[in-house]
Structure 1
Amino acid sequence: MRYCGIAWTELGYELAVVDDRGLPVEPPVHVAAGRVPQLTAHLLGLRDRSRAAGQELATVVDSTNGMLDGGLMSAGLHLYRADPWSLPERPAFGSVAALTLAVTAARDPATVVRLQIESGTLTGRVDQLEAAIAESEDATEALRQAGRCLAHGSREHRVVALTFDDGPNPPYTGRILDVLDRYQVPATFFCVGLHALAHHEELSRMAAAGHQIANHTWSHPYLPDLSRTELADQLARTDDAVAQVVGAEGPRLFRPPYGSRTPEVLSWLADGGSTVALWDVEPFDWALPGADAITRSILEQTRPGSVILMHDGGGDRSQTAEALPGVIEGLLARGYSFARMDQLPTD
């Protein structure tokens, strides 16, 4: 077995490959932010070279890197997650080093978790996520009462919000924007900082069309694994990356990856001035159920005021783009109109 660690940094990704003794077998590689297709192609080449040598390739990320798993698994790669209790302390900004991730998996394969496309980056930790969300109900409700948390708008108005996470992600973000333009429908895009850093054209197009651009962290981490400083840096750097492109103050609306939260995390977000954006309709499009299933799920779940969660990033989002016309036409036929999240009626 060979192990490839993938680290994220403020500029992109670092890759390091070791054998089952933890010894390097390939030179380390840097891939710039936004060049996920090139990163995927490099990993597929590594896999093929490993197989030619009679070995399989295990690709390893940590729980602060939730941007790559769906696309890499769809490409046929075996992906694993290393958790904080198995790793040394992270740097001030970035994940654990790529070589450390690879060596950790090589020395003790039992410490890493094989990811499944149906459960994504949090495979094996979904129960923990759900327990933390349940524990946070009172804190979430307190933020809602203060106008600092929104999961849906008024149930008295047939107005809904389409939202898209994890981009920008060419070409799928562009395809989604084409559909929104065709129907003259506004939307809210929750952008990941590392992708915003690289894909200025898509951000500019969102802003020019009047869509809302909001914050979805820098690297799509599981928030309870971050320190308060790490969380603040993730938000601030993403705000800055967006603001540098659209020429305005960075976004204040924030969606936590996976909806992850604890009472402590929510207190940090409140202190930082963010308004937390959740949702009440989820078609699980990231699990690639098919365009028809995505459309049907959204139409069945949507109620007045709904916030609909879809994805333009995190992998191949052709199913989401294909489903979107049916979603829009189906909701229009049911008498709904559309608004950005910040313009959704709340009373």
Structure 2
Amino acid sequence: METRSLAARRRVSRRLVTAGLLAGAWEVVSGPPTGAAKAVSMRPTAAADGLQALFGSENRLIRTREQVVAVTFNAAWNDAGLDSVLGELARRHAPATFFLTGAFADSRPEVVRKIAAAGHGLGNHSYSHPYFRDLTAAGRRREVQATDQALRAAGAGTSLTPFFRFPYSETSPAQINEVNGLGFADIEFTADTNGWKGTEGGMTVDLAVGRALDALAPGAIIQMHVGASEGRTEVIDAQALPRMLDAITARGYRVIDLRSLLTPAAGSAGADARQ
């Protein structure tokens, strides 16, 4: 039997979809993004549809028997590595999901449109990247909603997903419930390449690639960044991406689109995402 809180989240999700607030995300999942590899069909096992199957969890791993991996990028600083990243993804027909802050989307709407035009998914990474534990519930709600509005205003269109990633990946069950109540599933990551630290932080391309490959397992979610902090322009993750993608393929894995999790489809490889 459903708990009261889960039943309430299901009702909220259905209302949002009915109202069309998530229409952009739900229109796009019927097929892979333009120029991207065909997504693996996955059947949620814990709920009536893919989005609701992701509720109630921080989703750091896609539970699947398939040798698949999801590649994701955060954007909160600059877009110094974006052209290189998009070029490498296109050359390998690999999909990705980009989690942008609202402030980034407001200041760089052309970047939002460029990612959308390339066929990749766009996720919500809060507006100002604060520590959510320091905010009130109303403040956290504003962070999520303002980013959704910023992405829509920038031209995210059908690339917009109902996915949220917490700043600093600091989650709590209560805050996940809040995000779910707004119609978003929390998508975190299995491993971060730590390329964002830069050479000043002791990172190298070799180390970034190694961290991604060390985490390689069915359903792994890799986190990278498209920019560099504090005015830097060297983006280790952009340099590491081609080697990482080639190694993933060489080890028999495929890169899938996280939006495939939203499609309840019959198939032999049932999968869902869990902590």
Q: TM-score, normalised on structure 2?
A: 0.69
Aligned residues: 204
Deviations for 1:255-305, whole angstroms, at most 9, x for unmatched residues? 001111223322322222210001112222222211111011111211111
Q: Does 1:339 align with 2:248?
A: no
CA apart distance, 1:313? 3.3
Aligned partners of 1:314 and 1:272: how far apart in 2? 30
Structure 2 vs 1, CA of residues 282 and 305 (structure 1 numbering), >3 Å: closer, same or farther?
Answer: same
- Within-5 A mapping of 1:30-179: 146-148=53-55, 149=57, 150-167=59-76, 169-179=78-88
Structure 2 vs 1, CA of residues 325 and 247 (structure 1 numbering), >3 Å: closer, same or farther?
Answer: closer
Aligned partners of 2:52 and 2:149: how far apart in 1? 29
Q: 1:321 aligns with which of 238, 256, 259?
A: 238
Structure 2 unaligned blocks of 5 or more? 1-50, 262-269
Aligned partners of 2:228 and 2:179: how far apart in 1? 24
Q: Which moved more, 1:210-219 or 1:235-244?
A: 235-244
- Within-5 A mapping of 1:17-32: none
Structure 1 or 2: more strand by fraction: 1
CA apart distance, 1:174? 2.0
Aligned partners of 1:261 and 1:299: how far apart in 2? 25
Contact persistence 2:61–2:189 (CA under 8 A)? yes
Q: 1:292 aligns with which of 201, 206, 219?
A: 206
Aligned partners of 2:253 and 2:228: how far apart in 1? 28
Structure 2 vs 1, CA of residues 247 and 263 (structure 1 numbering), >3 Å: closer, same or farther?
Answer: closer
Aligned amino acid, residue 298 of structure 1? A
Contact persistence 1:168–1:192 (CA under 8 A)? no
CA apart distance, 1:154? 3.0
CA apart distance, 1:145? 8.8
Aligned amino acid, residue 273 of structure 1? G
Aligned partners of 1:244 and 1:202: how far apart in 2? 12
Secondary structure of the residue aligned to 1:252 is strand
Structure 1 unaligned blocks of 5 or more? 1-143
Contact persistence 1:168–1:191 (CA under 8 A)? no
The runs of at least 4 consecutive aligned structure 1 residues that moved more than 6 Å come to: none
Aligned amino acid, residue 155 of structure 1? T
Q: 1:230 aligns with which of 136, 139, 142?
A: 139
Q: Which residue of 2 aligns with 1:18?
A: none
Q: Which residue of 2 aligns with 1:181?
A: 90
CA apart distance, 1:189? 0.2
CA apart distance, 1:157? 0.6
Aligned partners of 2:223 and 2:123: how far apart in 1? 13
Secondary structure of the residue aligned to 2:145 is helix
Q: Which moved more, 1:157-166 or 1:259-268?
A: 259-268
Q: TM-score, normalised on structure 1?
A: 0.55
Q: Which residue of 2 aligns with 1:260?
A: 170
Secondary structure of the residue aligned to 1:153 is strand
Q: Does 1:305 align with 2:215?
A: no
- Within-5 A mapping of 1:201-240: 201-240=110-149
Bigger relative CO (Cα 8 Å, ≥ 6 apart): 2
Secondary structure of the residue aligned to 2:72 is strand
- Percentage of identical aligned residues: 29
Aligned partners of 1:235 and 1:246: how far apart in 2? 17
Aligned partners of 1:285 and 1:189: how far apart in 2? 16
Deviations for 1:221-264, whole angstroms, at most 9, x for unmatched residues? 11111111111111111111111222537542000011112233
Contact persistence 1:259–1:278 (CA under 8 A)? yes
Contact persistence 2:196–2:236 (CA under 8 A)? no
Structure index of larger Rg? 1
Aligned amino acid, residue 190 of structure 1? F
Aligned amino acid, residue 259 of structure 2? D
Secondary structure of the residue aligned to 1:302 is coil
